[in-house]
Structures are given as C-alpha cells and as structure tokens.
A and B are shown apart, each in its own frame.
Chain A
Amino acid sequence: GESVGLHLPTLSVQEGDNSIINCAYSNSASDYFIWYKQESGKGPQFIIDIRSNMDKRQGQRVTVLLNKTVKHLSLQIAATQPGDSAVYFCAEAKKKGSTLGRLYFGRGTQLTVWP
C-alpha cells in the first residue's frame, strides 16, 4: 500500500564505497518495482526496474535485488559518487492485464555522499 513518511531515513557513505538502500513493500500482489532518484527541487528520475519473475537485475553501477518472500527490495550503488547524493524512492505496482496500475511509493531514503 501507499505510505507517506514524515521523516526520511538517511544513509551517509564515503565516496567510493558501495551503498545499499533498502525498501520494504506491503502488497504481496505487486509484480513490478521501480527505483527512482530525486535530487533537491527536481522530479524523480528513473534508475532501474525489476519484475516479480526476477530476483536480481543489474544496470550501470546499480543493482536491484528483490526478495518476494519477505517483501524486500534493495538498491545497491557501486563506487558511490557525490553526484549520487539524493533521495531514493522505491515504488511498487501491479499489472492490470497488459497495463501497469498506479505506483505506490515508499518513504524515501536520503543518501549523502561525503568525500
């Protein structure tokens, strides 16, 4: 379901380290998941998605892991850079026929990368 957080969880990492951002989703019927990156004052930017028939998907410097048993999603960022500093949101959705239903967003995590 949808959750609106009042306080964003935060994650601070040193430049060059790997980052892991976690997300717990609520609807076991969800079959599509997306990670978005939102920089201050901007709209969310698509990073990577994964469907429920997969448990891992890799992109450029990012990997998404899906554990349907515990309804957990994670985003791993390799060699984190200062430009990765942003709020990261996970979103879940369910397909209706061939079309995705609405997205339900998680609370978001503020990632801060320090030199």
Chain B
Amino acid sequence: GAVVSQHPSRVICKSGTSVKIECRSLDFQATTMFWYRQFPKQSLMLMATSNEGSKATYEQGVEKDKFLINHASLTLSTLTVTSAHPEDSSFYICSARTGTGITDTQYFGPGTRLTVL
C-alpha cells in the first residue's frame, strides 16, 4: 500500500524557535499533500493544501507566514512552524494524494507531536 512518512515524530522546542516537519511519500509520487492539525480528542483540521511546484493554499484562519509550506518535489513537502509559541503545541499530520481518477485517495503520515515550552 501507499506509505507516507513524517520526520521527526516528536519535537520539543523553546518558544520563539522555528521547527521544520518533513512529509514524504515513500512509494508513490504525490502532486498534492495536505497538512492537518489535531488537538486531543478532536477531529483533524485541515491547515493547507500543498501542491508540488506552486504555492500552498491555506485554510481560513491559518497564518501563512507562520506555517510555511514548501513542496519542492513529488515526494516531499515540509511544514515550518516559525517563531513557535506554546499555543502551537499540537499533533501535526500530513497526507498525500495517490493519484487521479478512480484510484485517487489520501494516505496519512504517522504524525508529529510538537511541544513548545
């Protein structure tokens, strides 16, 4: 099946620092990847849609200057949380779209737990 990886799985940082999270599709090419945020016992909230070679599309209320997304290749998208603060602590999950037509679906990475002190 389609495998999506994320790195790191956990990160603890000090307030004011920036953190980069990588999302990779390991056995398929993904022209589109998605970044989600999830709070405890809640559903997934879409933050942005990342398209290879173009600018990301952010959901309403998500600060594009704070959550920088780069999708430089068909297998890698990165999310950088700039000047992180404790309220940015959350579980960040990426997903990748597998293709077009009848087989198009989304597979998720294992998530990254961010803790900002």
Contact = CB atoms under 8 A, between A and B. Distances in A.
A6 B42 CA distance: 6
B73 interface: no
Interface in B1-22: 1, 4, 6
A30 to B, nearest CB: 14
Chain A's interface size range is: 20 to 34
Contacts of B42: 4-6, 108
A105 interface: yes
Interface in A89-115: 89, 95, 98-100, 102-103, 105-108
Interface of A: 2-8, 34, 36, 41-46, 49, 89, 95, 98-100, 102-103, 105-108
B67 interface: no
A34 B106 contact: yes
A73 B113 CA distance: 30
Nearest to A107: B43
Interface residues of B, number: 25
| Nearest 6 Cβ contacts at the A-B interface | A43-B108, A43-B111, A44-B108, A43-B110, A105-B43, A100-B104
Contacts of B46: 2, 102-103
Most buried by B among A7, A43, A99, A108: A43
Contacts of B100: 98-99
| Binding site secondary structure of chain A | loop
Given A7-B41, A8-B41, A41-B113, A98 B108 contact: no
A113 to B, nearest CB: 19
A100 B44 contact: no
Nearest to A103: B106
Contacts of B105: 34, 46, 49, 100
A49 B46 CA distance: 20
A42 B49 contact: no
Contacts of A4: 42-43, 45
Interface in B63-117: 93, 95, 97, 100-101, 104-111, 113
Given A102-B46, A103-B46, A108-B42, 4 more contacts: A36-B108, A43-B6, A98-B100, A98-B104
